[in-house]
Structure 1
Amino acid sequence: MNLNRIFKRKPAGVSDGGQFAHDQKAESAVTLAAPPETRDTAKLKMGEWTPYGAAEPFKIEAEGVQRFMTGDDGDYLRLSEERNAAIPEEYRSENRFYAAHDYYYGRPKADVMDVVKVTHPDAFEEEEVEWARDRIAVRDAPQDVQEDLSEIQKRSSIARDKADRVREEMARLEAVERKWAASTVAAGTLEHFPQAKEVSYLLHGDNLVGSVSVTDGEKTLGSLSMKQDGAIDGTGHEAGQEYLHTVISRLEDVPDSWMAEQGAQVSEPDANGERVLTIDIHSALNMAAERYRDEDHRWRS
């Protein structure tokens, strides 16, 4: 039978516990010293040499895993000998350093760093490990699947380029519309108020429109006022009021100088910076026609 403690039989008649007393050990004369200090073989010091340049350690993910930066872009780490031994031999780095440089948008390509993450998931964020597993799954997928994914990524890249060009063109057109806001408003106003001659609007010191009105030179054909409590008061037919609501957004944050270049009259600001801008509809449209003729002439030349 197995015993948890070892006993030594003593002759009968021996005192201190009888024949099955515990074996008495002499006290050792050896003094035990503290074990020598061991250094974490994965922990880097600031400026320490690495294959990628001087290290700038910034995070210890877990025992035996040191993440660091260098003067170059990239994702770097060094493993302890024990951690490194667990990496599959095909991907194992003898110097225990690992790097990932090529992170392309939408490119599911696995590298040795992904192997490290799935081998030691306790040392990384859960999302990082999941992404690494996904990239490895794609890498190990049949060739035709990889080709399909490559084609999808190529088309996605083309679509993003087209979307960027559309956004750039929209931004350009928006800038042109703001630059020539007076003629744009004048043309729209005549469509909704055929007898209109002037469009006037109150501009607050913060360049927000407080009110806008359309007149035939004598009487008001339609108006819209924005109250401080958010309420909107309007006069004139419903379609005209809806149009004036869009006019307000077009006229806000347009510099007074741009409006003046199109023939708008700008009153002197009061103590609060409020001023009234008046657009002569026919004058603004005539200036717009001259601009289009000039541009057409330059284009044909």
Structure 2
Amino acid sequence: MLAVMSIPPTTDRVAEPAIQVQGLEKSFKQLKVLRGVDIDVARGSIFALLGSNGAGKTTVVKILSTLLKADAGTARVNGFDVATQAADVRESISLTGQFAAVDAILTGRENLVLVARLRHLKGPGAIADDLLRRFSLTEAGNRRVATYSGGMRRRLDIAMSLIGDPPVVFLDEPTTGLDPEGRLEVWQAVRKLAEGGTTVLLTTQYLDEAEQLADRIAILHEGRILVNGTLNELKQLLPPAEVEYVEKQPTLEDVFLTLVGARAEKEQR
């Protein structure tokens, strides 16, 4: 029998988690999408929520970003309750969806300046120049976004989401549709976010993406968290294989397919 498991963090959290979720449930008519989700995300870390299409990843993000109301359970973001303090939550976060929300007619710099002005921030030009530098887009800053590659558009999209310095950023499948080079560019941008102290909750169905970026990984399957831990902790759930006296450690893909496959087999009985 495969039980839902949660591996405790290897170090004690000094500060309150940036994201706290307990017993989260959500249904759409007769379809139960979330069936009691529990996760904590430490401040300044990258947390990957991994799962197949339809697992409930985007629903979790929408609830945490106040776009949906949960049917049951509680969730706090940056110390604020998503149900009763929605305005405070929205001031604390930025959400980047599955497709880049940039204006292709404007230049990269103009996109950034526009968002800074909409947020009524002082010095929008300086803010734009700083973000172009941080995301290695300075040379392309005065070019129309229509000329950007997919990876460059995605980096600009993430840069736009940081205007106003939100402490928590949600990235919902940020590399969907990108070529390998574009994915690497986005990975570098995400690492820079965490290095600067930003908390990142990343949803993805790419196993290598979670391996490369995440401090902790949770596997969501049919609305439930199957496992939650560091990459090394997840690998220890499966025994190493030995071939010709060479020890082979299980990959995250091995863990994911074993857990999801075992759960599906059990439910079919």
**Shorter-normalised TM-score: what interval?**
under 0.3
Normalising by structure 1, we get a TM-score of 0.18
**Which structure has the bigger radius of gyration?**
1
Higher helix share: 1
Higher strand share: 2
Q: Using CA pairs below 8 Å that are at least 6 residues apart, which structure has the higher relative contact order?
A: 2
Normalising by structure 2, we get a TM-score of 0.20
